[in-house]
Structure 1
Amino acid sequence: MRAFILAGGLGTRLHPPTYYIPKSLILISGRPIIEYIIEHLRGHSISEVVLCTTRAYSRDFKHYLANRDLGVRITYSIGSRRLETSGRLLAAKRYADDTFIVYYGDILTRLDLTDMIRFHRRKGAIATIALNAATPIDKGLACLDSDGRVTLFREKPVLEGFLVNMGLYVFEPAVIDYCRPERDIAAHTIPEMIDAGLPVFGYVVRQPFYDIGTFKSLEEVKKVFERER
């Protein structure tokens, strides 16, 4: 099975480092994010990775990965810097000839991919979304009554009852029919498939995942990984 790693975003919230390298090459405990992702995929029998990126970023990835044997075959799909996530997938459509995984290049998780793939096939899904049921938020929340009196106050609660998109999917090739260059997978492609009545399912987990999108989240992830060393 192939996995498509989306690694073409500009990473504007992590400037200035991402002026010079793609976000997936930022180091955590001495290793780049991309290595953790590929290691996770390899551990679930993924034998080929399609790295969906830009021409400039592809040079960075090739330079870094050239002398490393990560146990998978790596293919590069090159697209414009302006492409959204759906567009990156569309640019790589020639590789989407069977069930495949889509993995955002700025997340880290230990989700059981093998079980997620089994779930996807058992449901006969066109798309399965990894959803987290225990995501904490970094703000305090409050509820008021009609008089303005505080009836509930929680500091940085876990979002119980809400499911958070983890940026990890199992897709069938037919998903490509709903991809457009200027569109986003989460904002456009998946909602369109749901509206069309297609079988889109959610695979729910509670273990933590890490979205390395800001300096704050990056530092938090570094602390977690340092503790686990």
Structure 2
Amino acid sequence: MNALLLAGGLGTRLRPLTEHMPKPMALVANRPWLEHLVIQLKDQGIRDFVMAVKHYPEQIRNYFGDGGKWGVSIRYAVEPTLRGTAGAIKNAEPLLDDRFLVVNADIVHEIDLLRLLEYHVQHGGKVTIGLTEVDDPTQYGVVEQDGSGRILRFVEKPRLEEAPSRRINAGIYLMEKDVLRHIPDHREVSIERETFPLLIERNVGVYGKVVTGYWMDMGTKERYRRIHWDLLNRTCRLPIPGQESGSGIWVGEDCRIGPGVLLVPPVLIGNRVDIGERSIVGPFAVIGDDCTIGRYVRCSETIMWDRCKVNDAIHLNNCIFGYGLELGSKQILHEAVMNRMEAMQA
């Protein structure tokens, strides 16, 4: 069984961070989320991957290559035009096994693939949708199931009192390849609004199973921050790089921490980071590799990607900074989200 990772989304709501990059390549704990996902699935037995790409596909190709660095095989299905979720799966059809896993690559999660596979084999249907339960289902397509787990219908954005459940599509599917004949070719197709309702109508056997563990769509800046705070307080158990020094302080290799620097947990410092004297970093700060932080800096609830430079006496709170930007001295920034071009213009 191979895995199809849907990595072609535009990441509109994460701009400017994703203005010139695919959303699944956004850093999570100083590593592209797509890399976390490959490693996570490899650890559960997947060795053959197909990546469905569209938005800046060369960045994903150049980073992962053929997958040999991670001990896996990676092939690519490039969408000539945006095809939607089902259309992207259809476009990748020649590369897929008779049974395959599909994962939306912009959702951060910890899935137990074996339990999902056991359930899929047990019910004998053609599709198993991984489901997650949410407190407020009114903003989602909500599933209604019978006692066996068969999905009877999707109810799009119901009022709370009319929701048949609190279960929504988690963006994880196990599929038998022959269902792809139900997906039209060469056009955009929504899997939730078109394909799944059609498969339910044709009684091919669409089932759902709740996947336990962490789940978060990183499609907005607020949720992107929340993922990092959940990582730092270990609500999300993805691996954090670096040595844990004290409780909740992770520091990478070859860092220089100046005199009087205070690291307030939880905080993650990447590799080769230079922090100037009497700066305070944290709580809830993630500093990427090869960053330089000047003297007397205050940095809290902030995510900083690799190769950033923060000059002296800057106060940062609740910010997100993309690769390689530089901030001038004596600024106060709150809730700023910037990429390198914006920083040069500021």
Following TM superposition, by how much is the alpha carbon of 1:68 offset from its aligned partner in structure 2, in angstroms? 7.1
**Is contact 2:128–2:207 with CA below 8 Å preserved after alignment?**
yes
Higher helix share: 1
Equivalent residue for 2:287? none
Pairing partner for 2:207 from 188, 201, 207: 201
Q: How far, CA to CA, are the matches of 2:124 and 2:74 in structure 1? A: 28
Relative to structure 1, is the Cα distance of residues 160 and 82 closer, same or farther in structure 2, using a 3 angstrom cutoff?
closer
Q: How far did residue 165 of structure 1 move?
A: 0.8
Give identity over the alignment, percent: 29
Q: CA deviation at 1:185?
A: 1.2
Verify: 1:163 aligned to 2:167, yes or no: yes
Distance 1:222 1:136 in 2: 21
Distance 1:115 1:34 in 2: 22
Larger RCO of the pair (alpha carbons < 8 Å, separation 6+) = 1
Q: Which has the larger radius of gyration?
A: 2
- Paired residue for 1:151? none
Report the equivalent of 2:183. Answer: 179
Q: How many residues align?
A: 208
Runs of 4+ in 1 over 4 A off after TM superposition: none
Which one-letter code corresponds to 1:163 in the other structure?
R
What do the CA deviations read for 1:165-215 (whole angstroms, capped 9, x no partner)?
A: 100000000121122331111221111100111111111134330111111
Aligned to 1:5: 5
Q: Classify 1:45/1:186 alpha carbon distance in 2 versus 1 (closer, same or farther; 3 Å).
A: same
The CA deviation string for residues 112-143 of structure 1, in whole angstroms up to 9 with x for no partner, is: 1011011101111200000113x23499xxxx
TM-score (norm 2): 0.57
Specify the code of the residue in structure 2 equivalent to 1:63.
N
- From the superposition, tell whether residues 50 and 200 of structure 1 become closer, same or farther in structure 2 (CA, over 3 Å): same
Supply the AA of the counterpart residue of 1:14. Answer: L
Contact kept? 1:132, 1:207, Cα under 8 Å: no
Residue 24 of structure 1 pairs with residue 28 of structure 2:
no
Q: Distance in 1 between matches of 2:137 and 2:82?
A: 30
Matched position secondary structure for 1:17: coil
- 1:73 aligned onto 2:73: yes
The aligned amino acid for 1:174 is D
The whole-number CA distance in structure 2 between the counterparts of 1:175 and 1:138 is: 28
Write the distance in 2 (CA, Å) between the matches of 1:74 and 1:27: 20
TM-score by length of 1: 0.84
Structure 2 unaligned runs (5+)?
139-162, 235-239, 241-346
Q: CA RMSD in A?
A: 2.1
3-state DSSP of counterpart to 1:80: coil
Change (3 A) 1:170 1:62: same
- Counterpart AA for 2:22: P
| Contact 2:90–2:180 under 8 Å retained in 1 | yes
